[in-house]
Copies of this chain bind each other. A is one copy, B any other.
Amino acid sequence: MAKKVLILIADGTEEMEFTIAYDTLVRAGIECTSALVSASSSATHATCSRGVKIVPDTIFNPSESGPEKYDALIVPGGAQGAKTISETAAVQELVRAYHEKPGRIVGSLAALTSADGGDTIGEQELTSHPSIKDQLKEKFAYSDEPVVVSKSGKLITSRGPGTAFPFAFKLVELLAGAGKRDETIGPMVFPAGTPLKF
């Protein structure tokens, strides 16, 4: 059965990070659902960090977003979008629920910030956009690697648009295997020597 992933989006989400994750996972046969996190109940799309406007598959509903329904929860970066998403109490509860359920993972690109829900994710190994390294390095086991899988195997983090492809391929590897990852890379035509696997 195809794996299922929930990708959150909000005004200010980094549109390349969102789109690269979503598209790459779909190419790998993983079912993606994007859910809009917004204070406005009438919002129809997210205006992303550089102005691209994306219509979500659904509006974020905590009771339909849990680890009994999806294999992974993804939070893209983009400072303002990550802030909106990670400061939503229901998202913090979800991050905790995905951590508690065996076999489920949480992926965060560039800006976990307070998506840890205070003490939700503990002192795990992680990375982030370099601009928020100073906020995180005291509390977490901070790494400068492009993609970091924590020792628990539950948390996958990355740094920015430039690491969004390696991040997406790591998610494919974890959800569908290294064979599927390599099969997905081929038709995307990366220049020879592009580092994609971490």
Binding site for B on A (CB under 8 A): 14-16, 19-20, 22-24, 26-27, 32, 34, 45, 48-55, 57, 110, 129-131, 146, 159-163, 165-166, 185, 187-195, 198
Chain B residue contacts of A53, Cβ below 8 A: 54-55, 57
Tell me whether A194 and B22 are in contact (CB under 8 A). Answer: no
Tell me whether A130 and B193 are in contact (CB under 8 A). Answer: no
Chain B residue contacts of A166, Cβ below 8 A: 191
4 nearest A-B pairs in the assembled complex, by CB-CB distance: A162-B190, A160-B189, A53-B55, A26-B50
Of A34, A53, A159, which is in contact with the most chain B CB atoms at under 10 Å from its CB? A53
Known: A161-B188, A189-B160, A193-B195. A26 touches B51 (CB 8 A): yes
Task: Give Cα A32–Cα B130 distance, bound, in whole angstroms.
Answer: 27
Task: Give Cα A7–Cα B98 distance, bound, in whole angstroms.
Answer: 39
Task: Give Cα A34–Cα B47 distance, bound, in whole angstroms.
Answer: 14
Task: Give Cα A7–Cα B191 distance, bound, in whole angstroms.
Answer: 23
Tell me whether A52 and B19 are in contact (CB under 8 A). Answer: yes
Tell me whether A16 and B26 are in contact (CB under 8 A). Answer: no
The one of B27, B52, B57, B146 in contact with A23, judged by C-beta atoms closer than 8 angstroms, is B52
Tell me whether A20 and B27 are in contact (CB under 8 A). Answer: no
Chain B residue contacts of A52, Cβ below 8 A: 19, 22-23, 34, 54
